[in-house]
Amino acid sequence: MIESWRWYGPFDRISLPEIAQTGATGIVTALHEIPYGEVWPRETIASRNTEITSAGFDWVVVESLPVHEKIKRGEGDLAGFFANYRQSMANLAAEGVTTICYNFMPLLDWTRTDLTAPVARGGSCLRFEAAKMAAFELYMLGRAEAEADYSAEALQKAAIWHQQATEEDKQGLLHAIMSGLPGAYDRYDIAGLKQALRGYDGLTQDDLRQNYKVFLQEIVPAAEELGIKLCVHPDDPPRDILGLPRIVSDEEDISFILSAVDSPANGLTFCTGSLGANPVNDLPRMARRFADRVHFAHLRNVRKDPDGSFEEAAHLEGDTDMPAVIAALLDENRKSGRAIPFRPDHGHELLEDAAKGTHPGYPLVGRLRGLAELRGVIAGIRHVNGWNRA
């Protein structure tokens, strides 16, 4: 497996020389400054790649080459967007970058209600609090139908939270939820979010699945020709929110996607955090089942609550059997001879992390702790099984 690190390029407060000290050899990044739907110019890709390789790294995964929201909605003439996506892939392949992570989540890339939830022995983590999310949907957005999406316990807590919340609390919640917006980091106020959501009115899970299948039919053949490995990222969280459907949340969803266009180029980013937040998912079993189509792995852990809440746990704590998942991926490495890039996904803010002001979930010390722990698990599994490095 290839140890890698997510880097936000010019937007990142962690430098490549700092990343070098973590021991990671691969960089996971994207051209975040380019608007969705536009072609990634080859010269811009080449410049970013030179910056990465000059610092002693390989650009091992693009995360992400975004899918335009009109494709997700199936809206209008999409030929130009598909053509631009294929051209961006061709430009990446021409520069030797051939693994592309992307997602098919409507509007938001990920959603949390707390960016600095306290951790028992110090530090902070990302948290999704079902009651706060229910309060946001019901009382701040005024989406009455959201009541059907939450447990009675969460709804009761939501009413109490809303009654006691200050204006500062409400703005903090809006900020946390908006932190999952992709692209150039634009953020909505409540009125703006309501307007954005109207564009998805009436979009069902079946609609989104069909739109996704069309995307795969348009893009995967080009990926095959280019030697590109596409790997979809699961929904985060793996549940419908804000009235937006989710279709990459469990084993059945993934099976549908991989069979919709049955090709090695149509693969999966195995995110143990996103998939682990869904209580129905058996991650070791899923890792074994889909291992030959896993082209990239996000390794992190979560701790779930009965009401649907969850928070980021330390990488070897939480509800997911991380060694069992890693063992399945290492076994695939051994059998296939290919090395799967992975990165320590998210991490607690520890020590001086809070003062650095990095992207939420992407601190230096917290991810370094995670990488060190994962590195130890990998070394132990290889030693016990007598497997060579791959």
C-alpha 159/C-alpha 147 separation (Å) is: 11
Active site residue 362: yes
Catalytic residue, from 68, 162, 233, 348: name it. Answer: 233
**Closest among 60, 53, 62 to 85, alpha carbons compared:** 62
C-alpha 301/C-alpha 312 separation (Å) is: 6
C-alpha 158/C-alpha 376 separation (Å) is: 41
Catalytic residue, from 68, 295, 298, 315: name it. Answer: 298
Active site residue 292: no
C-alpha 7/C-alpha 377 separation (Å) is: 24
**Closest among 272, 188, 192 to 234, alpha carbons compared:** 272
206 token code pair: 């079946």
Catalytic residue, from 231, 271, 295, 315: name it. Answer: 271
121 token code pair: 């022995």
Active site residue 271: yes
Catalytic residue, from 162, 315, 346, 348: name it. Answer: 346
Within its chain, how far is the Cα of 334 from the centroid? 26
Residues 6+ apart with CB under 8 A from 50: none
C-alpha 85/C-alpha 83 separation (Å) is: 5
- Which residue reads 């400054």 in tokens? 33
Active site residue 8: no
How far are the Cα atoms of 128, 176, 315 from residue 139, in angstroms, in the given order? Answer: 17, 16, 35
273 token code pair: 């955090």
Active site residue 348: no
Catalytic residue, from 149, 235, 345, 353: name it. Answer: 345
CB < 8 Å & 24+ apart, contacts of 135-143: 135/159, 135/161, 135/162, 135/165, 135/173, 136/173, 136/174, 136/177, 137/241, 137/242, 138/162, 140/170, 140/173, 140/174, 140/190, 141/190, 141/193, 141/194, 141/197, 141/242, 143/242, 143/243
Active site residue 233: yes
Residue 124, helix vs strand vs coil: strand
Q: Which residues are catalytic?
A: 233, 271, 298, 345-346, 362
